[in-house]
Chain A
Amino acid sequence: MLLRLAWRNIWRNKRRTYITVASIMFAVFAAIAMSSIQRGAWGHMVDNVVKYYFGYAQIQKDGYWEEQSIDKAFLMDEEVKALQTKLPHVKDFIPRIESFALASYKKSTLGVLVVGTNGEKENAMTKLGTRITKGTYLQPGEKGAIIADGIAENLKIGVGDTLVLLSVGYRGANAAGKYPVKGLVHFGSPELNKRMVYLPLEEAQYFFAADGLVTSIALDIDDKKNIEPTILAVKSKLNQDKYDVLNWKEMIPSLVEAKQLDEAGAKIMLLILYVIIAFGIFGTILMMTKEREYEFGVLLAIGMHRMKLGLTIWVETILLGILGAVAGMLFSFPIVYYFYKQPITMTGDMAKAYEKFGVEPILPAALGLDIFLIQALIVFLMTSVLAIYPLLKIRGLRPVEAMRE
C-alpha cells in the first residue's frame, strides 16, 4: 500500500512530476553526453598517439628509458622471442633499434632519429605506410630509407636521392651509411616531421654495428583493457633485473597529465551541473512538502508513525529520481550511439591543432555501460539525499499546527 500510495502521489500533480522528471532526465543526459564525448575523445587521442609510435607497452633493457643510448640495446634472444606465443592478447612484437644520427645530403646536414624497424609489422601497428606522400613504403629485403617530408624539405632531398647517415654505433663503433630515399612520410607533429628516418631493422642494426640487437620491442596489444594483464604477464616471464616493461603512460606522462587536467575540468563542470539540478529537484521537494503539510498532519493524527510517513515520502522522491534517471538513460542512448557511430568532425583551427599532433580531428563518443550507470546512479543518489528534507520536516511536525495551516 505504501508503494501504491507513493506512486499515486507522484501523479497527483502531473505537470510538476513531468517537469521534475524532465529536469532529472536532462541532467542525466547532459552528464552522460559529457562523459561519453570526453572518454571517447581521449580514448581516440590516446589510441592515435600511442599507436602512432609507442605502442601500448614496450620491452626495453633495464634503465633504457632514463638514458636512451644505443649502448642500452639488447639481444632479442630466444627467451624474448618465445615470449610472444605465451601472450594471448599480444598480436605482434615490433622490434626496433633507434638512435640519433646526422643526416646529410650534398652540403646540408640535419640531426635525425633513425628508427630501424620491420616495415610490415610497423605498418600493422602504426599504419606508417598510410603516411607515405611520395615514393613507396619499406619493402622486405630492400635497402632504403623512408624519411619524414620535413627532412626532405630541409635537406632538399627527394625520392631516389641518396641520404648519408653518420652516428655513433653500439659501444662507440663508427656508424656511417648511404641509403636511397624510397619514400617520404608526413607527420602532423612538426617535431616528428623534421626528425624521423626509418630503415629496415637489419639495415639499422648493421648501421649501428649492433647485429641482432634492439633498443625496444613495442607490443601490439589487441585491446586497451588487456594492457595491464599483459604487462604483468611479461614481467613475470622476463628477468626483471635485465628488462623493463613500460606502459604508454610511463612513456608519455605529458599525455596522461593533459588527460587528467581535462578530466578534472570536466568533473568541475559536472559538479556545477549536479548542483543546478539538485536545486531544481530540491525546489520540487520543498514545494511538495509545503503543499502537503496539512495532509501529513492528518496522517499523523490518524495514527501513521512518523517513520512510516517519512519512508512513504522518501520512496515517492526516490521514484521520481528513478523515473528521471531511467528516462535520462533511454534518452541518451540513441544520441550517444549516433555520435559513437558518427563522430563529430572538427573543422578550422581546432582540426589543425589536432592534426598537428597527428590525431585525426574527430570527437567520437564512447559507448560504455558504466558511464550510463554511474551518471544515473549519481543523480539517483543525489535525489535520495535531497529526499531527507521531508523526513526532517515530518520529524518535527506537530499534527495540530500542520492541520491549522
Chain B
Amino acid sequence: MPIIKTTQVTKVYNPDTIPVHALAGVDLEIEAGEFTAIVGPSGSGKTTLLNIIGGLDQPTSGSIEVGGQDISKFSDSEMIDFRQKNIGFVFQAYNLIPVLTAEENVEFVMLLQKRSKAERQARVKELLESVGIADKWDKRPNQLSGGQQQRVAVARALASKPTFVLADEPTANLDSKSTANLLDIMARLNQEEGITFVFSTHDQRVIDRARRVVTLVDGQVDTDVYK
C-alpha cells in the first residue's frame, strides 16, 4: 500500500477573481522508502503539491491519503497533530527557531510530542551525530553556516520519527559542497533507515541522486521515471 496517494488533486487560487490552476488533477502514489524528486519549471505546482501532501494547504478537489487516511477531511487541530507525528519538513530557508540552539531545535518537536527527557536527549544526540553536526549542538542558527543549518533542519525533521520527510527545495541556498554533503546524509538515511524522502527541486544535483523523478507541467504529472 502506498504511504502517499493523491487522487485527482486540484488546486485553484483566486477562484472568484482571476483563477490560477496550480494543480489540475494530480494522481500520484509514493511507496515507503522512496527517494523521490518532484521537478518542473517555476509555477508548475511542485510546492503546492508538497504543501497539500504535507497538510499545510487544502486541495480544491480530490483526495490525499496518507497511510490510508484521507487527510483532506481532517480538522485544523487533527491536521497539526498529524503533521507533528507523521511528517518531517525541510524548508528552503531552513526555518530553524533562531533563539534555540541546534540541540534545542531538534528537541523541540519531541517536546511537542511530550516525549520523556531521557528519550529526547538520546534521540537528539543520535540525530546530530547522524547528520554530522554533533560538535555544534550548542550553537544557535546564526552561528551556523547554511549547510550546517540545513543539516540541523534534517535532524529536526527526523526527530519525531515521521512516516516521510517533505523537503521543499532543500538545496536552493546551499553551495555545491554543502549540497553534496546534505544529499549524502539524506541518501544514507533513506538507504540505511528506510526513511521516505520527497523533494521538490530545480536542482540537477538532487535530481541526479533521486531514484524516482516526477515531472510536473502546468499542474499535471507529465513524466514519472524510476531510475
**B81 pairs with A303, CB closer than 8 A:** yes
Q: Is the CB of B99 within 8 A of A302?
A: no
A304 smallest CB distance to B (angstroms)? 6
B112 within 8 A of A: yes
Chain A residues, Cβ within 8 Å of B100:
5, 8
| Chain A residue nearest to B96 in the complex (CB) | A298
A5–B80 CB distance below 8 A: no
| Minimum CB distance partner of B83 in chain A | A303
Of the candidates A8, A303, A398, A403, the one whose C-beta lies within 8 Å of that of B112 is A303
Rounded to whole Å, the gap between the CB of A391 and the closest CB of chain B is 15
Known: A1-B104, A304-B80, A305-B77. A399 touches B56 (CB 8 A): yes
Which of B24-32, B84-92, B189-197 lies at the binding interface? Answer: B84-92
Bound complex: CA of A300 vs CA of B80, how far in Å?
7
- Interface of B: prevailing SS: helix
Q: Which residues of A contact B81 (CB under 8 A)?
A: 303, 305
**Least Cβ distance of A227 to chain B in Å?**
55
Pull 12 A–B residue pairs with CB atoms less than 8 Å apart, ordered by A. Answer: A1-B104, A1-B107, A295-B95, A298-B95, A300-B80, A303-B83, A303-B84, A304-B84, A306-B80, A308-B112, A399-B56, A403-B95
Residues of A within 8 A of B109 (CB): 302-303
A-B contact count (CB 8 A): 61
Contact between B156 and A301 (Cβ–Cβ < 8 Å)?
no
Q: Is B144 an interface residue (CB 8 A)?
A: no
Instruction: For the complex formed, measure the closest distance between the CB of B101 and the CB atoms of chain A, giving whole angstroms.
Output: 10
Closest to A2 in B: B111
Which residue of A has the minimal Cβ distance to B57?
Answer: A400
Q: Is B84 within 8 A of A302, CB to CB?
A: yes
- Tally of contact residues, B, Cβ under 8 A: 27
State the CA gap A129–B57 with chains docked (Å). 87
B85 neighbours in A (Cβ, 8 Å): 303
Cross-chain contact B98 with A302 (CB below 8 angstroms): no
Asked whether B172 is an interface residue with its Cβ less than 8 Å from the other chain, the reply is no
Bound form: Cα–Cα A403–B97 in Å: 14
User: Which residue in A1, A5, A301, A308 is a CB contact (below 8 Å) of B54?
Assistant: A301
Size band of the interface chain A makes with B: 20 to 34
Which residues of B (72-126) have their CB < 8 Å from a CB of A? 76-77, 80-81, 83-85, 89, 91, 95, 97-100, 104, 107-109, 111-113
In the assembled complex, how far is the CB of residue A294 from the closest CB belonging to chain B, in whole angstroms? 8
**Bound Cα distance A302, B159 (Å):** 11
Q: Is A9 an interface residue (CB 8 A)?
A: yes
- Chain A residues with CB under 8 Å of B156's CB are 302
Interface residues of A in 293-338 (CB under 8 A from B): 294-295, 298-306, 308
State which residues 34-90 of B face A: CB under 8 Å. Answer: 51, 54, 56-57, 76-77, 80-81, 83-85, 89
Cα(A295)–Cα(B94), bound, Å: 11
A225 contacts the other chain (CB 8 A):
no
Q: How far is the CA of A304 from the CA of B156 in the complex (A)?
A: 13
The reply to whether the CB of A12 lies closer than 8 angstroms to some CB of chain B is yes
Q: Which residues on A sit within 8 Å (CB–CB) of B113?
A: 303
User: How many Å from the CB of B66 to the closest CB on chain A?
Assistant: 14
Nearest opposing residue in chain A for B51, CB measure:
A400
Contact of A299 among B57, B76, B97, B104 (CB under 8 A): B97
Q: Point out residues on A near B: beta carbons under 8 Å.
A: 1, 5, 8-9, 11-12, 294-295, 298-306, 308, 398-400, 403
* CB of B67 to closest CB in A, whole Å: 16
B111 touches A1 (CB 8 A): yes
Contacts of A399 in B (CB 8 A): 56
List, in ascending order, chain A residues with CB within 8 A of B97's CB.
5, 295, 298-299
- Contact, CB under 8 Å: A12 / B98: yes
Contacts of A304 in B (CB 8 A): 80, 84, 112
Residues of A within 8 A of B95 (CB): 294-295, 298, 403
Shortest Cβ distance from B159 into A: residue: A302
Q: Whose C-beta in chain B lies nearest to the C-beta of A10?
A: B99
- What's the minimum C-beta distance from A397 to chain B, rounded to whole angstroms? 10
B10 CB–A CB distance under 8 Å: no
Option from B76, B77, B83, B107 in Cβ contact (under 8 Å) with A302 = B83
Evaluate contact between A301 and B83: CB separation under 8 angstroms. Answer: yes
Give Cα distance in the complex from A395 to B206, angstroms: 37
Interfacial chain B residues near A8, Cβ < 8 Å: 99-100
- Whether B83 pairs with A9 at a CB distance below 8 angstroms is no
Q: Which residues of B contact A308 (CB under 8 A)?
A: 112
Closest to A307 in B: B77
When distances are taken between beta carbons in the complex, the residues of chain A under 8 Å from B83 are 301-303
Least CB distance from A404 to B in Å reads 9
In the complex the two chains form, is A305's CB within 8 Å of B80's CB? yes
How far, in Å, is A224 (CB) from chain B's closest CB?
A: 51
Q: Which of B155-172 contact A (CB under 8 A)?
A: 156, 160
Alpha-carbon gap, A298 to B98, bound state (A): 12
B48 CB to closest chain A CB, in angstroms? 9
Smallest CB-CB A-B distances: 7 pairs? A303-B84, A8-B99, A298-B95, A400-B57, A303-B83, A400-B56, A399-B56
Inside 8 A of B80's CB, which chain A residues have their CB? 300, 303-306
Contact of A298 among B77, B91, B160 (CB under 8 A): B91
Which residues of chain A are within 8 angstroms of B77 by Cβ–Cβ distance?
Answer: 305-306
8 Å CB contact of B89 from A1, A5, A11, A301: A301
Given contacts A11-B99, A302-B108, 18 further A-B contacts (CB under 8 A): A1-B108, A1-B111, A5-B99, A9-B99, A294-B95, A295-B95, A298-B95, A298-B97, A300-B80, A301-B89, A302-B109, A302-B112, A303-B160, A304-B112, A398-B57, A400-B51, A400-B57, A403-B95
